[in-house]
Amino acid sequence: MHRHMIEEKRTIMNIREKLQIVLIVSGCVLLDIFLHVLTAPYGTMPIDPDLNFVAEIMGVETVAAFWAVSAFSVVAFVFLRIREFLPGGGVRKGFLYGASVALLWFLAMLEGVSLFGNPLINEMVVGLSDAIPVLLLGVSLGFVKPSEGPAICSGTGLPAKKHQAIVLFAAIFLAGRYCAYTTGVIKSGIQVRPVGTFLWTLLMGIAIGATFEWLDMHRKGKSSRQRVGEFALCVFCLNWGAFLMFMPLLFSGYIADVLIRIALDTSLVMIASYLTISAAGHSRTMGSGESCIC
């Protein structure tokens, strides 16, 4: 009888947690849509855009709303998968995670300045329209208590060398992206806007390294394979891909370029993550039998 009551209570808590998550994601999606409507005058969509067949049939607004629901759902999914391993308590976990994704999305938006020649102020305003709701999403999810088990606070790997990790991420991302730029593997503004392209690439690499440090991904207690997988494949790849997929969902001719970008950038982040963990002196062999939590 007692066991039955415990199981019933656990079921109720699971339902309550899922309902809270759905409400939080829905609220942040609505906020994202509202902010984009509010900042519409700053939008950088071409006057006569080359929409793909999905956008032609469903309409730009419907596709944009579908992207928002999908992207914010991915952000929430990743947080729920890794929250027990993030540093700090519930709200701090949510803030650090939300801030990390917000920074990645905001800077991703700014690539339009060097890539397409869009005005910086426009890209910043539109970028904040996504960054603010996703930050709020992370913070709000931090208030949701797990229905099973206590939170696990991780230990810091090597805080004294945080600046070294950021430099390493920046250098690897810069080198890898420039190989892709110069060989024409992905589109870039390296010929028309070389200074802007360099500055954005450098800042993006620094930002990725900063998120690695914020989320304490070189912590002790897990194999290097797990830690690399958690950050590169879960935190970075899924959130990065969720944001970048907006373009091919709406416009024609972007799917190949975006998929290559996601694969390239994820590979660079995997390399940087592993080298950072190894340099911190807390790595295990990459051949470990433990698998990524994702």
Give a yes or no: residue 139 inside a domain: yes
Q: What is the pLDDT of residues 57-97, one digit of tens each?
A: 999 999 999 999 999 999 999 999 999 888 888 899 999 99
Look up residue 85 and give its amino acid: F
pLDDT at residue 204 in the model: 98
Distance (Å) of CA 191 to CA 148, 184, 274:
54, 11, 32
Tokens of 268: 């660079």
Give a yes or no: residue 286 inside a domain: no
Q: Are 207 and 107 in contact (CB under 8 A)?
A: yes
pLDDT at residue 149 in the model: 47
Give a yes or no: residue 285 inside a domain: no
Domains in the chain, number: 1
Confidence band of 44 (pLDDT split at 50, 70, 90)? confident
Alpha-helical regions (H) of 89-161: 90-116, 120-142
Q: Are 272 and 209 in contact (CB under 8 A)?
A: yes
Give a yes or no: residue 48 inside a domain: yes
Tokens of 294: 């994702």
CA pair distance 87, 154, nearest whole angstrom: 5
Which of 57-61, 100-104, 163-167, 214-218 is predicted most confidently?
Answer: 100-104
Domain extent for 252: 2-280
Tokens of 276: 């950072």
DSSP 51: B
CA pair distance 12, 217, nearest whole angstrom: 33
pLDDT at residue 283 in the model: 41
Give a yes or no: residue 120 inside a domain: yes
Name, in order, each residue with C-beta under 8 angstroms of 83's C-beta and a sequence gap of 6 or more: 90, 93, 94, 97, 141, 142, 146, 151
Distance (Å) of CA 258 to CA 84, 102, 134, 163, 263:
31, 19, 21, 30, 9
CA pair distance 248, 187, nearest whole angstrom: 14
pLDDT at residue 207 in the model: 97
Nearest alpha carbon to residue 130 among 58, 38, 199, 261: 38
Give a yes or no: residue 290 inside a domain: no
Give a yes or no: residue 107 inside a domain: yes
Residue 158 has pLDDT above 70, yes or no: no
Q: Kindly report the average pLDDT of the chain as a whole number.
A: 87
DSSP 187: -
CA pair distance 214, 177, nearest whole angstrom: 23
Nearest alpha carbon to residue 131 among 155, 160, 157, 98: 98
Distance (Å) of CA 254 to CA 6, 51, 248, 258:
51, 11, 5, 6
Give a yes or no: residue 186 inside a domain: yes
DSSP 157: S
Nearest alpha carbon to residue 292 among 217, 239, 206: 217
pLDDT at residue 90 in the model: 82
Ordered DSSP codes for 197-247: HHHHHHHHHHHHHHHHHHTTTT-SSS-HHHHHIIIIIIIIIIHHHHHHTHH
Q: What is the pLDDT of residues 109-120, one digit of tens each?
A: 999 999 999 999
